[in-house]
Structure 1
Amino acid sequence: MLETHNKTMDEARQGEAYGGQLEAEKKFEKHFYIESYGCAMNFNDSEIVASILNEHGFGATKIIEDANLVLVNTCSIREKAEQTVRNRLVHFKGLKKNRPDMLVGVLGCMAERLKAKLLEEEKLVDLVIGPDAYRTLPNLIAEAETGQKGVNVLLSREETYADIAPIRLDSNGVSSFVSIMRGCNNMCTFCVVPFTRGRERSRDPQSILREVQDLVDRGYKEVTLLGQNVDSYYHTNDDGSEVVNFANLLELVALVSPKLRVRFSTSHPKDITDEVLFTMKKYDNICNNIHLPVQSGSTRVLQLMNRTYTKEWYLKKVDRIREIIPDCAITCDIICGFCTETEEDHQETLEVMAYSNYDLSYMYIYSERPGTLAARRYADDVPDEVKSRRLDEVIALQRKMSAAIFKSDIGKTYEVLIENTSKRSEEHWSGRNSQSRVIVFPKGDYNLQKGDYATVKVTDATSGTLIGEIVAV
């Protein structure tokens, strides 16, 4: 998700190289350098890869010149994302001229889709590893060190990496991701994920709870439960004796600690059930923030996208969320210029946005992805200039709504989890409230640290940030 105008937390870190939380006394003869692009799941996958590499003698480094192994964890969601990764690989190929022993590998979605081109046509990489093959990485490295190409892009119906403890890379020590499932069954026509990450499979709930408890024990105060379609989580024992759905899991995680904030991403509207909503309402530490992608406001276009709901059904879901959790923030994904989209379709998207009153939206121009159902079935027939103009209109409306929502928070008081010192001032803290709105406020004379909670009254607002002052700790 690189071509976006409001960035998620993980997208704001895209392309960043990671060190890791390594034991100080542990020494490594070899080192790896990793860059991650795209969704939160890719960043979490990089943490799994780091754990596997640590167990096989590789330590993390942020200095590429010190690396024996350079990895890029890739995204195939948009064309721009792939081009960004390709440019980085060309750069790494140049570095190899002075470091012929350096291995370069591609992980994740782009690896599965473009393996032949990356290996043979462009000769950019030594290793290609799909998202279900990370356990084989040490053997593939050994092959590549002999001059062979290391390749494994086989998809799995079982792999969840449930037994691997991720190394929290470049963590702020406050918030972390926990993957609860992999793959997707929805087959939206514009999306490549089912082809690059395979079918849905849910992780054993006990392994999830162990990982969450470990994070709490290490001082983390917030977890985000991850999945391509997180609220379709469904786990059953082999003998059918225990069934855990997403609402059940959400409750179990909330019960780990009342001081642990719980978030989740990403949702499909069809799976945000009343049971999930009432569970969110029941527990104060489950954040009042739901990502509810609509993609288009036109029922006709939604049918072409295979989104399985209508405009009217979606708006009723928004109403139900507001009814059960009145102060819930809703965020959204929107695609502008999907195949055959008319001006009337576009106006319906603007109408849905205005009705839903999103806190923010992740807004994209449609980018045809090879191999998807849309690429095979429909012509990408909306001119680029029309796509761009419609995107501008969507952005303008979202900015107007966001500014109004943030302005309406002036005078309100929120519990804020302190995440970091403000980027603009060492004298201010930055954190988020339950709705995931960023609040910046003076540190004052309070003896607070990252990971502490503070009660903050909002005194001012920009279109994307709340400004406040501490009223209690």
Structure 2
Amino acid sequence: MSSQKHVEMTAEELHCQYEYMAKVKEILQHRYVHPPLAHVHSFGCQANVSDGERIKGMLAEMGYGFTDSTDSADFILYNTCAIRKGAEDRVFGNVGELQHNKRSRKDMIIGLCGCMMQQEQVAAKIKKSYPHVDIVFGTHAMHKFPQILFQALTQKQRVFQIDDSENVIAEGLPIRRDGSYKAWIQIMYGCDNFCTYCIVPYVRGREHSRRPEKIVAEARELVAQGYKEITLLGQNVNSYGKGLDGDVSFSKLLRMINEIEGDFRVRFMTSHPKDCTHELLDTISQCDKVCRHIHLPVQSGSDRILKLMNRHYTRDQYLDLVRYARAKMPDVTFTSDIIVGFPSETHDDLLQTIKLIKEVEYDALFTFIYSKREGTKAAGMDDPVPEKEKSLWFRELQAAQTEVGSRHNAALVGKTLRVLADGHAKSGEGYLTGRTDSNAVVDFKADDGHIGKFVKVHITKALSWAVLGEIVDE
């Protein structure tokens, strides 16, 4: 199946949503003496966080302030994640607790949106078992949020919008960013890969890309505002450009953003190995603002499991990409995602994955025990290995990565690295933390005035999960 055609929100539709924002603002001004407060929490991946920033942008336009506390909120919205069962269970638990908020504040509004809500069975469960939830909308209806909220405020009845129509790229809606020096830019939406374990294509829809000129304009505006790190987001950024007119690719988009003047750096995620080309690796090596760090999810080191996962590459093809990248960029680092305990996986398959970890020498891994997702092909596969054994395998894999990661950190001792100070560290009072261009975690003693700035740090000590250092005077 091919990806969806490029569909953008029309100027008329955008104007209509802004009119709804104005109507909601007028309603709120009549109902509240002070601006009402909204609590928005996004579960899951960076794409969800980015969606949450757009939701908060619309809420701010409608006159809401914001609070970190559900107890003081007049409006609560959970932006949900469906990637693993544990994420769904947390949402149901948190939503259940909100019935107490509703009892004490009858006029408050509680909403759910995002990937979980795009699943009909989940929306049906919310409708039946959680009567205190007022609005529910899926990923495909995100751009209609002002209209949905207006309906909830005026009709005094629950609003459920689970739209199965084509995904729409909504340019021009407001954004309220969570940070002042690091920002996300969504460059594409959806996924065409249909890995057998993954629910994303079913809840996020098919691949569709934003126009490059819109992305570059957003990046240029962020740099002008002083942002130091821009992360380009997509379920598979390597396939960026599908459905667009003209000859555009992710490599070309990176070059366009790299040409923007200013002191900033560019990251991206996530890359799919089957679409990671030599052209892309050449581009990264030639762009001075693109970080020499590639998140390249492998999921398994066993060809048999990779085929069952529908990943469309082999172990050798993956290793060829790593070797080519290192030939072009000796300082490049890799991180990855790995699933342990996929249906029919054996301990021998796991050992092949551990061997791959030692061959690639990842700087860090995001490891997960397989989570069954109803509606995916893998959900119907035989899964005979008990959870207890999978947990033992999981620890075995983590131990292998800890040894590799510790060795990588030890190799940084004595070097002076460029770090973007990101906030307070866990190492102790007076310490800040940040990341290098290669994504290494660095803790160093400094005052809060350095947060959001690039600093030079001389590395003095290696820990298992980070390195320690001292600021070097410029």
Instruction: Give the TM-score taking structure 2 as reference length.
Output: 0.89
| 1:228 is the counterpart of 2:263 | no
**Residue 166 (structure 1) aligns with:** 175
| 1:93 is the counterpart of 2:115 | no
| 1:142 is the counterpart of 2:150 | yes
| 1:179 is the counterpart of 2:176 | no
**Counterpart AA for 2:410:** K
**Residue 405 (structure 1) aligns with:** 408
Offset of 1:142 from its aligned partner? 2.8
**Residue 54 (structure 1) aligns with:** 60
Q: Is the 8 A contact 2:167 2:205 kept in 1?
A: no
Q: Is the 8 A contact 2:184 2:233 kept in 1?
A: yes
1:127 aligns with one of 132, 135, 147:
135
CA distance in 2, matches of 1:295, 1:423: 30
CA distance in 1, matches of 2:183, 2:167: 24
Structural mapping, 1:381-420, within 5 Å: 381-420=384-423
Q: Unpaired runs of 5+ in structure 1?
A: 1-26
Structural mapping, 1:440-455, within 5 Å: 440-443=443-446, 449-455=450-456
CA distance in 2, matches of 1:219, 1:258: 9
CA distance in 2, matches of 1:189, 1:236: 24
**Counterpart AA for 2:216:** L
1:342 aligns with one of 342, 346, 349:
346
Offset of 1:64 from its aligned partner? 2.2
Offset of 1:308 from its aligned partner? 0.5
Q: Is the 8 A contact 2:250 2:280 kept in 1?
A: yes
Q: Is the 8 A contact 1:422 1:428 kept in 2?
A: yes
2:442 aligns with one of 427, 439, 442:
439
Offset of 1:28 from its aligned partner? 6.5
Which secondary structure does the structure 1 equivalent of 2:472 belong to? strand
**Counterpart AA for 2:184:** F
Question: Structure 1 residues 356 and 156 mapped into 2: Cα distance closer, same or farther (>3 Å)?
Answer: farther
**Residue 79 (structure 1) aligns with:** 85
Offset of 1:101 from its aligned partner? 1.2
CA distance in 1, matches of 2:177, 2:299: 32
1:277 aligns with one of 281, 284, 300:
281
Offset of 1:424 from its aligned partner? 4.1
Q: Is the 8 A contact 2:207 2:242 kept in 1?
A: no
Question: Structure 1 residues 312 and 235 mapped into 2: Cα distance closer, same or farther (>3 Å)?
Answer: closer
**Counterpart AA for 2:273:** P
Question: Structure 1 residues 126 and 402 mapped into 2: Cα distance closer, same or farther (>3 Å)?
Answer: same
CA distance in 1, matches of 2:378, 2:421: 43
Offset of 1:426 from its aligned partner? 4.8
| 1:35 is the counterpart of 2:36 | no
**Residue 328 (structure 2) aligns with:** 324
Bigger drift between 207-216 and 289-298 goes to 207-216
Q: Is the 8 A contact 2:74 2:109 kept in 1?
A: yes
Which secondary structure does the structure 2 equivalent of 1:66 belong to? coil
CA distance in 1, matches of 2:75, 2:325: 47
Q: Is the 8 A contact 1:209 1:252 kept in 2?
A: yes
Offset of 1:106 from its aligned partner? 0.8
1:260 aligns with one of 258, 264, 268:
264
**Counterpart AA for 2:457:** V
**Counterpart AA for 2:438:** Q
Which secondary structure does the structure 2 equivalent of 1:96 belong to? helix
CA distance in 2, matches of 1:312, 1:277: 17
**Residue 16 (structure 1) aligns with:** none
Offset of 1:124 from its aligned partner? 4.9
Bigger drift between 249-258 and 52-61 goes to 52-61
Which secondary structure does the structure 2 equivalent of 1:454 belong to? strand
Which secondary structure does the structure 1 equivalent of 2:201 belong to? helix
Q: Is the 8 A contact 1:439 1:465 kept in 2?
A: yes
CA RMSD of aligned residues (A): 1.9
| 1:195 is the counterpart of 2:202 | yes
Structural mapping, 1:355-366, within 5 Å: 355-366=359-370
Offset of 1:381 from its aligned partner? 2.2
**Residue 118 (structure 1) aligns with:** 126
Q: Is the 8 A contact 1:157 1:201 kept in 2?
A: no
Q: Is the 8 A contact 1:131 1:155 kept in 2?
A: no
Higher helix share: 2
Offset of 1:236 from its aligned partner? 6.2
Offset of 1:268 from its aligned partner? 0.4
CA distance in 2, matches of 1:190, 1:312: 22
**Residue 8 (structure 2) aligns with:** none
Q: Unpaired runs of 5+ in structure 2?
A: 1-32
CA distance in 2, matches of 1:123, 1:86: 13
Instruction: Give the TM-score taking structure 1 as reference length.
Output: 0.89
**Residue 221 (structure 2) aligns with:** 214
**Residue 19 (structure 2) aligns with:** none
Which secondary structure does the structure 2 equivalent of 1:331 belong to? strand
**Counterpart AA for 1:470:** I
**Residue 306 (structure 1) aligns with:** 310
Q: Is the 8 A contact 1:205 1:235 kept in 2?
A: no
Offset of 1:123 from its aligned partner? 2.9
Q: Is the 8 A contact 2:58 2:174 kept in 1?
A: no
| 1:351 is the counterpart of 2:352 | no
Bigger drift between 413-422 and 194-203 goes to 413-422
Offset of 1:121 from its aligned partner? 3.4
Identity %: 38
CA distance in 2, matches of 1:371, 1:123: 26
Q: Is the 8 A contact 1:32 1:69 kept in 2?
A: yes
CA distance in 2, matches of 1:62, 1:448: 24
Give CA-to-partner distance per residue, 1:420-453, whole Å, 9 cap, x none. 2434445333221111111122338xx9632322
**Residue 379 (structure 1) aligns with:** 382
**Counterpart AA for 2:104:** N
Q: Is the 8 A contact 2:421 2:455 kept in 1?
A: yes
**Residue 8 (structure 1) aligns with:** none
Offset of 1:109 from its aligned partner? 0.5
Offset of 1:144 from its aligned partner? 2.5
